[in-house]
Amino acid sequence: MITDNDERNAPMLAINRLNRRLGHEPFVERRVFAREL
């Protein structure tokens, strides 16, 4: 089972911290980039 959460989504990240007790661990980050054209 995979979840992805924006770092600004504090409630979901808090839930993820609880879920770590069950082995639900962060394993990679997706970094979004932008530039003007």
Partner 1 sequence: MHSERGLRHLVASFPPRAEAGFWVADYDGVVAWTMAHRPWWRATNSGYLWIGVLPSTRGRGLGGRLYERAAGRLGALGLERVHSDVVGDAAGERFLAARGFSQTRRIVISAVDPRAVDRARLAQTAVAGSRRWRSSRSSTGPRSTESSA
Residues at the contact surface with partner 1, assessed by CB under 8 A: 1-8, 13, 16, 18-19, 21-37
Question: Is residue 16 a contact partner of residue 5, using CB atoms and an 8 Å limit?
Answer: yes
State the minimum distance, in angstroms, from the CB of residue 32 to partner 1.
4
Question: Is residue 16 a contact partner of residue 3, using CB atoms and an 8 Å limit?
Answer: yes
State the minimum distance, in angstroms, from the CB of residue 17 to partner 1.
10
Question: Is residue 25 a contact partner of residue 19, using CB atoms and an 8 Å limit?
Answer: no
State the minimum distance, in angstroms, from the CB of residue 12 to partner 1.
9
